Structure 1
């Protein structure tokens, strides 16, 4: 297992990237396939995967909040980042910069 996945923060960052990718695939590929090509199955499959990743993101957010004692504001920002397209990528870059500043 990669070293970064052994910590709650590392797992949160990894799941955040996957959740962000699934959200963009849902919005940018599956939804157009449903509405422009008449293929609703794409939304069903990608939507299900995104839903699972979103729940995993929330669980990882709770774990990292407990581990790092994140403030309520930080938790809210992390939650909102999951609702905005490209938000999890923005959050990942901020967390990476913070980690590099500490090292």
Structure 2
């Protein structure tokens, strides 16, 4: 789960970077390579995210709907924060209090 959580955060940050940094640079600063490179990195991370989410769903016994929700949140800006919180809840032992 730690690996999936890491990929989830990296993929989410790459999406935010693509949408809120690279695309404005392309539009307003005439820097089309920003989208090229950020898009390439995001594409690779999204493929990894999809594959690791499928493995995580299988290993943790998620329903198909939960897996589809996690997959959908991969294309929503800042959706990775919800996925990260959901994973932390699942991996935290019941007796331990969650911080933050």
Query: Do both proteins adopt the same fold according to a TM-score greater than 0.5, normalized to the shorter chain?
Result: yes
Moved over 6 A (4+): none
Q: Tell whether 2:6 aligns with 1:10.
A: no
Superposition deviation, residue 100 in structure 1: 1.9
2:38 to 41, 46, 50: 46
Deviation of 1:101 (Å):
4.5
Query: Which sections of structure 2, spanning at least 5 residues, go unmatched?
Result: none
Task: Tell me the number of residue pairs that the alignment of Structure 1 and Structure 2 aligns.
Answer: 95
Q: Equivalent residue of 1:60, what SS?
A: helix
Paired with 2:89 and 2:53, the residues of 1 have a C-alpha distance of: 18
Residue matched to 1:33: 25
Kindly report the root-mean-square deviation, in angstroms, between the aligned alpha carbons of the 2 structures: 1.2
Runs of at least 5 residues in structure 1 that lack an aligned partner in the other structure:
1-8
The residue correspondences of 1:21-100 to structure 2 (distance < 5 A) are: 21-100=13-92
Please report the TM-score for the alignment, with normalisation by the length of structure 2.
Answer: 0.89
More helix by percentage = 1
In the TM superposition, what whole-angstrom CA distance separates every residue of 1:27-59 from its partner, at most 9, and x where no partner exists? Answer: 110000001111100000000000000000011
TM-score of the two chains, using structure 1 as the length reference = 0.86
CA distance in 1, matches of 2:48, 2:69: 17
